[in-house]
Amino acid sequence: MAEKVQITRQVYRKDIYQNVIDTNFSQLIQPVTQVEDQGPTVDEFFQTYNELFFEIPKTGDTNSHQYLIDQSSQYVGDEYVNPLIAELQAEITSLKQQILNSNETINDLTSQLSTLGDQFTTISAQTNTVASTNPTQ
């Protein structure tokens, strides 16, 4: 037996149907999700940093001024963090080289002194031998 199916339709006026019926192809494509908050901008970060400056601990493994310095130094290099640091490191390198040179000079002089001491001992022994074979009158 065939059943009767009753179909009803709603008719909208031309100027109203666009407000009632979605005419976009939204069922064919996934809707674009909004981008999640990416966090503060660089300007917002520095504004917050300046506001919290004195509340941030000076030292510590994390969340401290020292931590920020260490992280930034690794990224940009120490010479950009503070020019004085680069100057002091160059002076330290120079002083280390001077110490190495001085140590080499000390070793050379010690070796020469040891050789002179051996020569003196030999000459002294020879002098004693000559003096004992030729006694003075």
DSSP 50-111: HHHGGGS-SS-SSSSHHHHHHHHHHHH-HHHH-HHHHHHHHHHHHHHHHHHHHHHHHHHHHH
Residues 35-75: tens digit of each pLDDT = 677 788 899 999 999 999 999 999 999 999 999 888 888 88
pTM, entire model: 0.38
With pLDDT > 70 as the criterion, what percentage of the chain qualifies?
83
State how far the Cα of 26 lies from the Cα of 6, in Å rounded to an integer. Answer: 29
- The residue among 92, 89, 69, 91 whose CA lies nearest residue 81 is 69
Q: What is the pLDDT of residue 28?
A: 66
CA–chain centroid gap for 85, Å, is 14
